[in-house]
Amino acid sequence: LAHGYDHVINYKSDSFVDRVREITGGKGVDVVYDSIGRDTFPQSLDCLKPRGLFASFGQSSGPIENFTLAMLAQRGSLYATRPT
């Protein structure tokens, strides 16, 4: 907060999905930038609006496993990317 953020969520002690839904009035966000990986996926997908974008750019907790395209469709026609 001291660095200008409007909201800060500690994913290890708070349900970040619930907090994101609360902050956005239940709408979710347009984009999730996920540097954690296994520990925060697929909850990161649950934070997105329909047709939202999941950008995975790290895997500090390990790689995302068992990822299927059906997961994107079931959560609202989401997009996923892994930029380099």
Q: Are 52 and 79 in contact (CB under 8 A)?
A: yes
Q: Which of 38, 36, 46, 50 is nearest to 16 (CA)?
A: 46
Phi-psi region of 2 (alpha: psi -120 to 50; beta: other; left: phi over 0): alpha
What's this model's pTM, rounded to 2 decimal places?
0.87
Residue 15's contacts (CB-CB under 8 Å, 6 or more residues apart) are: none
Ordered per-residue pLDDT tens for the chain, 84 residues? 999 999 999 988 999 999 999 999 999 999 999 999 999 999 999 999 999 999 999 999 999 988 889 999 999 999 999 987
Which domains are seen in the chain, by residue range?
Answer: 16-81 (3.40.50.720)
Whole-Å CA distances, 24 to 6, 61, 69: 12, 27, 26
